[in-house]
Amino acid sequence: ATGRPYPLEFLVDGALRQLTLPGPVSVSGADMYPAGALAGLGIVQVPRYRVEHELTRGELEVLLPALAPPALPVYVLYPQSRQLSPRVRVFVDFLKEAFAGFG
């Protein structure tokens, strides 16, 4: 960890806004954010899939639901070749469709 806080990011009327809050904890990996929130150490901004179970069980709650964070990019890496294998093409198309509604 650098010791510097990362700002929370929100889309407000289509514009990116950043908000840096003071916090008592600095972590060295994103895996620690949910644990810190569960321990009551502060507010975290993580992908929903990382805390879906905790949200469902009521252990965590969504704050500011109207202020969504910007969508995270998704990349697919595969070896470059002249012709993409049919299996890879089907998988890439599946991912495009699966993530189409997320920004």
- pLDDT reported for residue 60: 97
CA–CA dist 95, 74 (Å, integer):
9
Q: Confidence class of residue 3 from pLDDT cuts 50, 70 and 90?
A: low
- What would the DSSP string read from start to end of 3-51? SPPPPEEEEETTEEEEE----S---SSTTHHHHHHHTT-------HHHH
Kindly list the domain boundaries of the chain, sorted by start residue: 8-56, 71-103
**CA distances (Å), origin 18, targets 9, 15, 36, 92:** 5, 10, 21, 32
Split at pLDDT 50, 70, 90, the class of 28 is confident
Q: Are 68 and 48 in contact (CB under 8 A)?
A: no
Q: Residue 67 pLDDT > 70, yes or no?
A: yes
Q: What is the model's pLDDT at position 99?
A: 83
For residue 2, what pLDDT is reported? 65
Tell me how many helices (H) and strands (E) the chain has: 3, 2
Query: Taking the model in full, what pTM does it have?
Result: 0.67
